[in-house]
A and B are shown apart, each in its own frame.
Chain A
Amino acid sequence: MSGVAGGGLDPGGGLDPGDGPGRRYVVLGLGNRIQGDEALGSLVIERLAADDAVIRALPDPASIDLVDGGTVGLALLPLLEDVDGLVVVDIIDGGLSPGARQDLDGTLLLRRDIVMGVHDLGATELLATLQLMGAMPRRIRVVGIQPKRVDLGTELTSEVEASVPELIRTVLGHLRAWQTEDGSGG
């Protein structure tokens, strides 16, 4: 079963988060729900979970975990260790016009030449920790949208909101490509 995990929660009291045989893929949304566009990653997870028909249409839906990472923490580690594919969803400040989408190689997260959401350090540290543990995800993509406003507030700006559907298609595209490559569901 695909499942939704909150920031470090152990959903359903499960004692073996992420364990089990077979491939594992994670969509990790990062975001602060009371900071305007900064909520993006968290909102995308919520929408994917609410409309799980799109996940079920993928080759191997049972191997996918949707993780609302909130503002990150070491509690997320067990959910990410050694997964076959990780999509990080976050706002990305690349100096573009508000609403512009980006789809980046995840190794960029280990450098400092792009500025991610306000939890940049958390995501970077999380991946560095996985690297130190020898448990890096096999593939990492970072997808996001150029924010317009990161300030106290509970709604996305219209520019960012307009780009969300295409962003979700990008997330699903990566999952589909990885699962096809890994021969899942066939």
Chain B
Amino acid sequence: MARVVVDPVTRIEGHLRIEAQVDNGAVTDAWSSGTMFRGMELIVQGRDPREAWIWTQRICGVCTTVHAIASVQAVEDALAISPPPNARLMRNLISGAQFIQDHVIHFYHLHALDWVDVTGCLTADPQKTADLAQKISPWPLSSRAYFTEVQARVKALVDSGQLSIFTNGYWGNPAYKLPPEADLMAVAHYIEALSWQRDVIRMHAILGGKNPHPQTFLVGGMAAPLDPNSPNVVNPLRMDQMAALVRTMRTFVEQVYVPDVKAIASFYPEWFTYGAGHRNYLAYGGLPNGALNDTSLYTFPRGIILNGDLSTVHPVDQTKITEAIAHSYYTYPGGDQATLNPFDGVTAPKYSGPTPPYDALDTANKYSWLKSPRYDGQVMEVGPLARMLVAYGSGVQKVQDLVNSTLAELNAQPAALFSTLGRVAARALETVYLLDWMDTWLAELGKNMNSGDLRTADTSKWEPSTWPAEAQGWGPHEAPRGALGHWVKIKNQKIENYQAVVPSTWNAGPRDENGQTGPYEASLVGTPVAVLDQPLEILRTIHSFDPCLACAVHVVDATGAEKVRVEVR
């Protein structure tokens, strides 16, 4: 019996620690811990609710925009403001670009190397690699000469004495199953994705003034002017640029990302059986195509799937969302067994864990800076898989077609979706699904502009004197990593209480007051671990959720250094 510790798990800023119990080559129990305190809720208390988005957007530097949108929507909900259609379209275009860029980055730069052995590509035959690439896609960068050159660059990096960006891989681990040519093809696309991602995110510079952290959000709409006759605003030239960016997105997603996901998945069929967890899925839904509160017109439908039963989509009632702290470093006025809806949420930190540096968490008691969100007392997974399952169950035809054809290609049953690779596949299909919406939103925005509808904001309630003495609002949104909600209570024109429940808190939270494990913890049970001091398989499942502990715990690593500490005892 051994306990494996992986700390931190994320390849980007943020702090997530996993302790896993391994018996006879498989995980039997696991504990997920966020190791840093957030506290953004305390920072915005007493501030003007119209500026909350500026603060909360900085919760994360990677998942930029999502907290800003959730925040302005919460305040708009509280003050009964309806942003005009153009504001909704611009927010959707910003969100869509964020999803598409983020999903591709996640696959290539944060997850692919759990499946692809970088050192494997050194022995690949460039001709066989070209054959493979040309077989699965019309993407033009697929010649023998091209792969020969990429291979030479990787070799130069290896020969320089250190692998740098590839330092932390478990190269040569027996759990790597790809043939060398697939390794080389994937590494080439890893490099190509670096250039692609910096191009497509220019959408944010056009609509948001800058990236990361666009600056044009506004309670009531957007501060990005729309005018066909002005050179420095969103005009026909900018519309053409955005249309070209969407084409760039589409080509890479359809010809590189999706074929790679399918090709890699085909070598790991057993990973459609590992990593399920509780099989409860929650989507707040979002990216509205009508009024903010008209959920029937959401791009992503709202709903809940229970126990993997896709035949019924349950409704979402935000009053049933609560957060527990029984195993979290916080106190509640009602004690550790109490749970609170975020409107009445309390952020009162009280660390009671071991003094760092420590070997083990006190998992019998409190062991995480994340709270444990629950819906009607039940554990919920959020993210692309939850969104696709809810959309599938809700009868969204395009999602059903995408899912069914992919399952047929992989010769898999719907139950295969409840797995580690199910998350990876859902993320890719969701990216395809959004491409058509991007075209739709752009066309609508262009139509409005040409017909003279240039409104981008409703400022009729901008002045605090127009507000009620007390108001409260909920801003549900979907971030690339899953359901994101901001809750705000406004009293005498100031923020009285503010709570953000972020996707990684839903997924990475610890056990609750009833001892129910969180989604990460549950998903790891049964995961095989071939080499104890190389917990590659644990990382596969955790990374399949796209953990962003910068998002869940929000304090940027002051050392900037990534140390994946693996301990075996």
Contacts and interface: CB of A to CB of B under 8 A. Distances in A.
The answer to whether A and B interact is: yes
Interface in A58-89: 71-75, 77-78
A158 interface: no
Given A77-B198, A118-B561, A132 B210 contact: no
A84 to B, nearest CB: 19
A10 B201 CA distance: 11
Interface in B157-198: 157, 160-162, 164-165, 191, 194-195, 197-198
A111 B198 CA distance: 27
A74 B561 CA distance: 15
Nearest to B245: A15
B1 interface: no
A110 B209 CA distance: 34
Given A110-B160, A110-B164, A75 B561 contact: no
B160 A8 contact: no
A132 B241 contact: no
A95 interface: no
A9 B558 contact: no
Contacts of B149: 134
A150 B543 CA distance: 33
A131 B562 CA distance: 21
Contact of B558 (A10, A118, A128, A131): A118
Interface in B175-234: 191, 194-195, 197-198, 202, 205-206, 209-212
A172 to B, nearest CB: 28
A129 B559 contact: no
A9 B194 contact: no
Contacts of A121: 560-562
A125 interface: yes
A122 B209 CA distance: 26
Given A72-B560, A118-B558, A118-B559, A124 B164 contact: yes
A133 B164 contact: no
Contact of B157 (A15, A118, A120, A132): A132
Given A78-B198, A132-B157, A133-B195, A118 B560 contact: yes
A71 B194 CA distance: 19
A132 B241 CA distance: 29
A119 interface: yes
B241 A133 contact: no
B165 A129 contact: yes
Question: Which are the 8 A-B pairs with shortest beta-carbon distances?
Answer: A128-B164, A10-B205, A119-B560, A125-B165, A78-B198, A118-B560, A132-B191, A128-B165
A129 B194 contact: yes
Contacts of A74: 109, 194, 197-198
19 contacts: A10-B211, A13-B209, A15-B202, A32-B558, A32-B560, A71-B556, A75-B211, A75-B212, A77-B195, A110-B160, A110-B162, A111-B160, A118-B560, A121-B560, A121-B561, A128-B164, A129-B165, A132-B153, A132-B154
Interface string A95-124: 000000000000000111000001111101
Interface residues of B, number: 31
Contacts of B109: 74
B156 interface: yes
Given A72-B560, A110-B164, 19 more contacts: A9-B210, A10-B202, A13-B210, A15-B206, A15-B241, A74-B109, A74-B194, A74-B197, A75-B211, A77-B194, A110-B160, A110-B162, A111-B161, A121-B561, A125-B164, A131-B153, A132-B165, A133-B191, A134-B149
A8 B559 CA distance: 19
A184 interface: no
B560 A71 contact: yes
Interface of B: 61, 109, 149, 153-154, 156-157, 160-162, 164-165, 191, 194-195, 197-198, 202, 205-206, 209-212, 241, 556, 558-562
Contact of A111 (B162, B165, B191): B162
B201 to A, nearest CB: 9
A170 interface: no
A71 B12 CA distance: 13
A35 B206 CA distance: 33
Contacts of B161: 111
Nearest to A78: B198
Contacts of A125: 164-165
Interface string A7-43: 0111001110000000000000000100100000000
A132 B202 CA distance: 23
Contacts of B195: 77, 133
B194 A8 contact: no
Contacts of B210: 9-10, 13
A14 B209 CA distance: 9
A131 B162 CA distance: 13
A134 B157 CA distance: 11
